[in-house]
Structure 1
Amino acid sequence: MAGLLLLAEAAGRLGLVSTVQFPLASTVLVTAAGLAADQEFLWDVGATFAAWALGLALTVAVAVPAGLLLGSVPAVERALRPVIEFLRPIPSVALIPLAAFVFTERLDMKIAMIMYASTWPILINTMYGLREVDPLAKETLRAFGFGRPAVLLRVSLPSTAPFIATGVRVAATIALILAISTELLAGGSDGIGAFIILAGSSPDGLTLTVAATVWAGLLGIATNGAFVWAERRLFHWHPGTAA
């Protein structure tokens, strides 16, 4: 990362890249540092993260039980597989204009888009995790008279938890992307995307836009890092999350 910044700075200083079209890396970094003390920008960051957190929480509440159902009942999975395979490849960003007509409240629209895009990694990882559960452990519980719900709660769900956590981590990044994309494409009065739109009309519009974009990337990295850390702490025993 530092090497890329130095290369971008050198390209601007040497005139290889026009600073009119793209500001110097040093200028962007100074502006980005200033945004950390900008109350308006911090408010917009808070608005984006509020929608992100609510949308992700609702997604987990819906996608995990749905994945457990589809992974545990083959008949339901076979019935819904065509619908899933039809909806999953549709680009989420392409649905934002449609969502703008359906939802009058921008927060509701952001949450809906976050839920649509973030559902798939959690749903698929949950279903995949159930297939990896040790069949001997399930048969042992059944031999002691435990029914399907007890086997699911005592064996399948704990064994699937690391896969679910991975799905949530991937979904968290997708949710942040959709929150900012929705703010950019559908407008609104708050959020990082709304800040970027307004920054474009200011005298230092290009520099502010790039600086806000840098912050969006840093927040994405921080979010993913926090989830990776949590996975390693909670599921250190699982080979897929070993440090």
Structure 2
Amino acid sequence: MPRPVLGLAGLLGLVLVVELLPRVGVVEARFLPPFSEMAASLVAQAGTPAFWQALLGTLRGWALGLTISALAGVALGILIGSVPVLRAATSSTIEFLRPIPSVALIPLAVLLYGTEMRSTLLLVVYASLWPVLMQVLYGVRDVDPVARETARSYRFSSWTQVRTVIWPTALPYVMTGFRLAAGIALILEITGELIIGTPGLGHQIAVAQSSGAVATMYSLVIVAGLVGVCVNVVVRAAERRVLRWHPSVRGEVAQ
């Protein structure tokens, strides 16, 4: 069977299981309502301005945080990776900061910005910066030494070396880091809204949970999952378009 058909069959099977489990008494409906109730609640939510404001708030925070982290990661990665002394001096600092969970910064973010969007933005940027930065560092390290020395022997300027030698080699790594960062940014955006209370889908989920609106809570969780799927599809499509010249993408298209 074609892969899309199998994927759709698996999704329908999950929906059927969620619908039947509370109806046959395997789980209590107050903890897991049938899928039909979630769908009805989702339709009702879609008719309210608050839902769309929350969705736009989540997407705005995600896009802004991802953009900042991508630009900063690319700039820092090329700068650090191109200067061996700078890379040696910062490697221990990067390895110390990178494993720190972003949620551990929530008290600091709340102390600095309260429940404003900047609190969640701090978490998003911190978490999604590292995949981009590390991938760019790997990409710069992968540059052919002969090409680098040839550019130097022809006395290319630093900008010309970055544009003609470093960037083409690092671009596949950049897109990989961007794809990873896109998912991480969405996770931290919703997590920040959920815990800090920043306006968005996460905050709406927390409000529904605290008020006992279980079906509404699950419907918003479904929306968050659909947003994640859309983000993954869009980023992968952008990656294939940007890297259409790359052998891996050409082989994928050929298959």
Q: What is the TM-score when the length of structure 2 is the normalising length? A: 0.88
Which residue number corresponds to residue 197 of structure 1?
206
Q: How do 1:1-243 and structure 2 match up within 5 A?
A: 1-104=11-114, 106-188=116-198, 190-202=199-211, 205-242=213-250, 243=252
Name the stretch that deviates more: 67-76 or 147-156. Answer: 147-156
CA-atom RMSD in angstroms: 1.7
Question: For residues 162-209 of structure 1, what are the alpha-carbon distances to aligned partners after superposition, in whole Å with 9 as ceiling and x for unaligned?
Answer: 211111121111111111111111113x21111112222446x11111
Question: For residues 124-165 of structure 1, what are the alpha-carbon distances to aligned partners after superposition, in whole Å with 9 as ceiling and x for unaligned?
Answer: 010111122233333333333324442222111122112111
Gapped runs of 5+ residues in structure 1? none
Relative distance call for 1:33 and 1:132 in structure 2 (3 A) is: farther
Relative distance call for 1:38 and 1:160 in structure 2 (3 A) is: same
Larger RCO (CA under 8 A, 6+ residues apart): 1
Gapped runs of 5+ residues in structure 2? 1-10
CA contact (8 A) 2:115 2:196 kept: no
Q: What is the TM-score when the length of structure 1 is the normalising length? A: 0.92
Aligned residues: 241
Deviation of 1:98 after TM superposition, in Å, equals: 2.3
CA distance in 1 between counterparts of 2:108 and 2:158 reads 41
Relative distance call for 1:78 and 1:215 in structure 2 (3 A) is: same
Deviation of 1:240 after TM superposition, in Å, equals: 4.1
CA contact (8 A) 1:63 1:122 kept: yes
